[in-house]
Amino acid sequence: MTSQRWTEATDLRRLPLFADEHTVPQPHRLDYAVAVSAEPATDSADIDWALVAAIRAQASEQLSRAVAADRGRLDKATQEELGRSIVLDLVDSSMAERVNAGESAWTLAEQEAVARAVFDSLFRLGRLQPLVDDDRIENIIIAGHDKVRLELIDGSLTPGPAVADSDEELIDFLVFLASRSEVNARGFSEAQPRLHLRLDGGARLAAAAWVTPRPSVVIRRHRLMTVTLDDLVARDMLTSVAASFLRAAVRARKSIVVSGSQGAGKTTLVRALCAEIDPAEAIGTFETEYELHLHQLDRHEIVHAWEARPGSGERGSDGRQAGEFTLDEALVDSFRFNLSRQIVGEVRGREIWAMIKAMESGTGSISTTHASDAAAAVRKLVTCAMEAGPHITQALATSKLAATVDLIVHLDMNTTTQGRTSQRRRRVAEIIALTPGERETGYATTQVFRTAASGVAVPAVLPDDYRPLVTHGFDLAGYLAADGAGS
């Protein structure tokens, strides 16, 4: 078969390589029961990455010339369409050379895999893209280019394919990835050795290099985007009584902090809590990197989403880098947007003052933080508040938190390991009410739901001022009927 006849018979342009050149390819939606029992696809491990790199270099050169000839007027969508055409031409040429040299021809699947790998290296996430697109994978954990672990949606861990040919290549790709964002570019260098980045499609990337033995990367995929409290009840994450309490608390505009360890499901629970907010309410979200994505879920008519932006370059006389935009500034601006709710995302440090300001407005805010239990979350928030400077005393931080936070919902994640397989289970373990009080601590806590032997939160003591939540749908009868309920 001549190369011309081969090209006519198997033209890649007839293949469904990219569904829509204007959007990021979406992962297949797999049945949950099938997905948890299946191994992630590792076809990318069979790709000749040296060939991909060679074709990518040619494609990049041709694309650069085309963009330069048009004096940079080509928009992103047009560049991707042109890039796709260039990639397909180059793959055709490579195939023809193989055939003329007497080598075996690629199958259609092999041709598509090479073309997609080249396109991904030009416009997407390169060798990471197949993993990010795989709906069976929840988290991608990288401790060096060839040391990759994949956490599946059932919590199990499995080895993954190498994501680069060397650590240096992986770092170079991360630098490129950080700098190319059109909306919120971020620096990643020896001077800025940490990276937190929102990826197309909503996944979150955290990376570190130069301060670690090998480049470390974790990509978290947000699998449960559209989720309700009833969905979490169905997954045994909490009881129906606890769900009715939290639903009523949100509707009554109680301010809630969700605590838990890394990966415990805090963001998922916050999305479920936000689903209980009236769709007509105007919501503002404030995050260091977008994770909630309420502005993309179309559940609420108006969502103004703010994302902090780190500065770059030298610091000014005020100690800030040029271009820096903080959550505090976003919150100040938001008071001109006629918001009904202000939702501050994860609290890790000074951004707690944005959370406190939002909760002081009495709109019923929701935030998250890392902690080992609900009581520890209070102490963690006090520490975060004191990081703002020496003018913030422990007494001031404590009094502010006690006066603004109404409830802390703690999530527990239990991991069981058998051999090389790990299984994770996430549950709402306790819910406490926080009030100003005791002189020594500056606050008082009441366990509204305590941790049962099963690990799930069950009714304990209900403060009198939470009984009126029954008017917002709280199942008070179910609460009082449960074991351990207060009178």
| pLDDT > 70: percent of the chain | 83
| Cα dihedral 82/88/91/95 (nearest 10) | -150
Mean pLDDT, residues 235-244 taken together: 94
Which superfamily does CATH assign the domain made up of 229-311+323-485 to? P-loop containing nucleotide triphosphate hydrolases (3.40.50.300)
- Residue 457: pLDDT band (50, 70, 90) is very high
Residue 477, helix vs strand vs coil: helix
List the single range of 104-108, 170-174, 302-306 with lowest mean pLDDT.
Answer: 104-108
pLDDT given at position 460: 94
Q: Are 434 and 407 in contact (CB under 8 A)?
A: yes
pLDDT given at position 2: 36
pLDDT by residue (tens digit) across 61-90? 888 888 888 776 777 788 888 888 999 999
- Residue 422: pLDDT band (50, 70, 90) is low
pLDDT by residue (tens digit) across 10-48? 344 444 444 333 333 333 322 323 233 334 444 555 788
> Is this structure's pTM higher than 0.95?
no
The fold of 127-222 is Beta-Lactamase (3.30.450)
Mean pLDDT, residues 356-385 taken together: 87
Domain map of the chain by residue range?
45-97+110-123, 127-222, 229-311+323-485
Long-range contacts of 128-134 (CB under 8 A, 24+ apart): 128/163, 128/219, 130/41, 130/43, 130/44, 131/40, 131/160, 131/161, 131/163, 131/219, 132/27, 132/199, 132/201, 132/203, 132/219, 132/221, 133/25, 133/26, 133/27, 134/27, 134/40, 134/41
- Specify the higher pLDDT residue, 182 or 419: 419
